[in-house]
Structure 1
Amino acid sequence: MSWLQRMFGQDGQQEERPRDPADDYWYSSLEGAVAATSGMLVTTDAALQLPVVLDCEKVLSETVCSLPIKVFRRLPNGGREEADGHPLTDLFAFRPNGFQTSWEFFGQMTWWLAWYRNAYAEIVPGPRGAVDQLVPHHPSCVTPRWSRSTGEVWYDVIDLRTGQRKTLHASEMLHLRALPFSADGLTGVPVTKTSGNIIGAALAVHAYGARFFKNDGQSGGLLEAPPGTFKATVDRDNWLSAWRRARTGSSQHKDAMLEHGIKYNRAQLDNQKGQFLETRNALNEELARIWRVPQHKVGILGKATNNNIEQQAIEFVTDTILPILVLWERKINADLILRPDVYFAEFNVAGLLRGDLESRYKAFFQGRQGGWLSINDIRRMENMNPIPNGDDYLQPLNMAPAGTKPPAAHAPRAALPEDLGLAVSLPQ
């Protein structure tokens, strides 16, 4: 039997599924779901109900989209200068497309990259040149494939704006993919596939807590009836249904009466013995590890101190954000810049590495005295305008290349009266 026959039946009519209330089929969304060992279906919408998952996605995407990115021109002496006239400079600074700002574009693409481990943007030529617009496409609407005849990569796209299907060549698509990769190397494996069990366990704990407090923190119980109380199963079921109606919903705290010698034994649940809070906290830490986000960034402060948070903030830049930025830069330089030997794009992370005011000024002082920072270098890092003659570098007198003759010492000048603060009388 084909899949079409299984779906619609042998005669082309859709098979009727028994609507059993005990069947979990009617309580879950199958689209894009991954079944976890906890029994939960892990979907994007369900996972975003977990505060830590939402925070990790927001921290990564908002951090990247808040960083300035500029295009530079390589100089013959190994230096660089900003290429203000490059078309990508205008595209990155203002509008990558007709409906998004650069903040929205980089934020959305990084959000998809962090969750789906894939992010796609169609390269549209126009007045600004070969790259006039970057139009993002949802990862669920893009299917990369190899061409068996040419070995090239093509993308089958469903455009949600127009509802049309189209096929784009690899040269027409900016595709960011993060590790781990699929078997064919064309796509990154989504988080739901690699970490579905952890997310499913967190969803199960979250759902348990919601159900527990929905019932006012009370569990059910066991009704003990003397033998022969009910003559038929239907009588027992009718009585039990009436009992539940009298004890649930708006009648939860009303008085109830037990008949026929029935006794009620309440089930006692001890969340403390069950380590409910400990389990939830441990799962939150595991969720943060998926994206390698420091715990204090997602509100987990149990082990945080004033001393280690600053160090963790630096590690967040070097270990978490930097790989994402390098991926962005490599793809931009490879797919969007026609002369990567002359031009290149780079994010500025100096703002993320700023410490407290005193530590920052001490570092500036050392750089200035050591001779590798000028006044204007420091002012640029502090988002201040350059000043005239501010590009000069100091050279410490006690430092010189090895083997060179030290500068001759000057004889000390005799102290003048004005040096001692004495008044000088000039002849009339």
Structure 2
Amino acid sequence: MGLFNLFGGGRDAAMAEATRDAGEDRWFEGGGARSEIDVAVSIERARKVPVIRDCLHTLSENVAGLQFGCFQRLDERRRRRLDQHPAMRLLSNPNRRQTSYEFLACMVDDLASHGDFMARMIFDAAGNVVELRRINPDPAVTHVDEVEGVKRFTTRDARGQDHRYLEEEVWHIPLPPLKDGLRGTSPILDDGREAVAVAIALQRYANILFKNDGTPPYAITMDGNFKGADDKKNFLKAWRRWTSGKNRHTPAVLEYGMKPTRMGLTAEEAQFLETRKELWLDLTRLWRVPPHKVGIMDKATFSNIEHQALEFVTDTLRPVLELIERSVAKFLIEEDDVFFEFNVESLLRGDIKTRFEAYALGRQWGWLSVNDVLRMENLNGIGAAGDRYVEPLNMVPVGTGPGGRERDERAAIDRSIAFLRETTARNGGRPRLELVKHAA
């Protein structure tokens, strides 16, 4: 019997209905990829597993909250921020309905769940991209194929109408490795299908168990037999009435040599504690999310949580950020010397004591100024004086002998005295306190 006939009408449908087994969950599940344990796995169903939902939210919300910008390379050491660049304006306000936060959150969520992000590019009369509108990457809604080396996107809207777009009209970011060279790999439907299926099966089993009051099933054995099927049904109805609802945990009377035999889990087994812990850890590995980010604190300490938070940025977020950054540079930026970048400084900052000690080292050894430190703390600078860099007076080039060191020290003192005299003269003969300190 073919798939069309199985779900079609007429006699074949009636035969299919007659052969369905109420004990098989697959007849009552929605669509999705089948797993080895015959559980349908879909993105929508996977989101109902708390650990998966938390992993997706952790990734999307952390990326969406980052600052970003377009920069122009002036030389190997300098760059200039371009707030008015078209790509910057586009990502800051992608369309009429979404903010940059919402748009980026959807982008990362699509990559982490479906393995693809797609957005339709809306052009103005001059051929410039003025809007980005997300396309649902679900394979059941959007089909991607390739004809003569050109990708085509066919998507179906809510009214059932198909729309076809060419490669130049869609911004597509696939998550490596690619399937058939076109679509990305879904952590849920591809790599993690079996682990997600086990999580769904475990959650479903727990729901059924506790829906039935968490009471293990019993088999009733007896020496004789019921006279007919109706007598058996009547007894089972009476048994449920005696042992459920307000009659829970009350004594029941059995006759005719009936004996109940327990067929179920112990209270400890019914909690699925060890199974859930190991399964949750397996699910976090799909996205390399540290366990403490999703509330698994069994082996967490103050020291290793801080290191895991840093690893979350360098090992988990960095690949996703670079994937987005390079895609923006390739498809939304025309200039070769302009690039797009996220700022992860806020996520890398440690505790205040460690952070201030790092600032002190940078200030002492000359690669940070007062204004540099204030900018890192999102504070206003103190003016031109805050851009001054300092270094220890005993710092000399490697290999300089004692005589050279004395000359360098004397030259530094002479420069400071000359600077003090010059600025004092400009200030009407009154030396300023900070200038005296600088000369010293």
Residue 212 of structure 2 corresponds to residue 215 of structure 1: yes
Residue deviations 1:246-286 (CA, integer Å, cap 9, x gap): 43456545554323332223346324368821111111111
The verdict on how the C-alpha distance between 1:304 and 1:12 changes in structure 2, with shifts beyond 3 A counting, is closer
Judge conservation of contact 1:40–1:204 (CA < 8 Å) in 2: yes
Q: CA deviation at 1:237?
A: 4.0
Judge conservation of contact 2:111–2:186 (CA < 8 Å) in 1: no
> 2:67, 2:88 → 1: CA distance?
11
Tell me the secondary structure at the aligned position of residue 387 of structure 2.
coil
Tell me the secondary structure at the aligned position of residue 341 of structure 2.
strand
Q: CA deviation at 1:38?
A: 3.7
How many residues end up aligned between the 2 structures? Answer: 405
What letter corresponds to residue 109 of structure 1 in structure 2?
Answer: M
Tell me the secondary structure at the aligned position of residue 289 of structure 1.
helix
The verdict on how the C-alpha distance between 1:54 and 1:128 changes in structure 2, with shifts beyond 3 A counting, is farther
1:122-141 equivalences under 5 Å are: 122-126=120-124, 130-140=128-138, 141=141
| Fraction of identical pairs, as percent | 38
Instruction: Output the TM-score relative to the length of structure 2.
Output: 0.83
> 2:46, 2:364 → 1: CA distance?
52
Judge conservation of contact 1:42–1:199 (CA < 8 Å) in 2: yes
Residue deviations 1:22-48 (CA, integer Å, cap 9, x gap): 34344211x2x1223344322223222
Where does residue 337 of structure 2 map in the other structure? 342
> 1:182, 1:271 → 2: CA distance?
45
Residue deviations 1:211-237 (CA, integer Å, cap 9, x gap): 33333332121211112x323445334
1:250-269 equivalences under 5 Å are: 252-253=248-249, 256-267=252-263, 269=265
> 1:200, 1:373 → 2: CA distance?
52
What letter corresponds to residue 89 of structure 2 in structure 1?
Answer: D
Q: CA deviation at 1:146?
A: 1.3
Residue 115 of structure 2 corresponds to residue 117 of structure 1: yes
Judge conservation of contact 2:136–2:142 (CA < 8 Å) in 1: yes
Where does residue 28 of structure 2 map in the other structure? 27
Which ranges of structure 2 fall in alignment gaps of 5 or more residues?
415-440
The verdict on how the C-alpha distance between 1:374 and 1:213 changes in structure 2, with shifts beyond 3 A counting, is same
Where does residue 385 of structure 1 map in the other structure? 380
The verdict on how the C-alpha distance between 1:346 and 1:135 changes in structure 2, with shifts beyond 3 A counting, is same
Residue 354 of structure 2 corresponds to residue 354 of structure 1: no
What letter corresponds to residue 108 of structure 1 in structure 2?
Answer: C
Residue 17 of structure 2 corresponds to residue 17 of structure 1: yes
Q: Which has the higher helix share?
A: 2
1:308-387 equivalences under 5 Å are: 308-339=304-335, 341-387=336-382
Residue deviations 1:335-384 (CA, integer Å, cap 9, x gap): 00011x12111000000000000100111111111222222222221112
What letter corresponds to residue 286 of structure 2 in structure 1?
Answer: I
> 1:265, 1:3 → 2: CA distance?
42
> 2:86, 2:126 → 1: CA distance?
6
Q: CA deviation at 1:200?
A: 1.5
Where does residue 106 of structure 1 map in the other structure? 104
Residue deviations 1:390-425 (CA, integer Å, cap 9, x gap): 333223333334456444444999xxxxxxxxxxxx
What letter corresponds to residue 354 of structure 2 in structure 1?
Answer: S
The verdict on how the C-alpha distance between 1:242 and 1:409 changes in structure 2, with shifts beyond 3 A counting, is closer
The verdict on how the C-alpha distance between 1:125 and 1:268 changes in structure 2, with shifts beyond 3 A counting, is closer
The verdict on how the C-alpha distance between 1:156 and 1:250 changes in structure 2, with shifts beyond 3 A counting, is farther
1:37-186 equivalences under 5 Å are: 37-76=36-75, 78-93=77-92, 95-126=93-124, 130-140=128-138, 141-148=141-148, 151-160=149-158, 164-186=161-183
Where does residue 435 of structure 2 map in the other structure? none
Judge conservation of contact 1:7–1:15 (CA < 8 Å) in 2: no
Where does residue 301 of structure 1 map in the other structure? 297
Tell me the secondary structure at the aligned position of residue 139 of structure 1.
coil
Instruction: Output the TM-score relative to the length of structure 1.
Output: 0.85
Tell me the secondary structure at the aligned position of residue 70 of structure 1.
strand
> 1:124, 1:268 → 2: CA distance?
59
Judge conservation of contact 1:9–1:15 (CA < 8 Å) in 2: no
Where does residue 419 of structure 1 map in the other structure? none
Where does residue 189 of structure 2 map in the other structure? 192
Which ranges of structure 1 fall in alignment gaps of 5 or more residues?
414-428
> 1:128, 1:109 → 2: CA distance?
27
> 1:155, 1:198 → 2: CA distance?
30
> 2:244, 2:189 → 1: CA distance?
36
> 2:229, 2:389 → 1: CA distance?
94
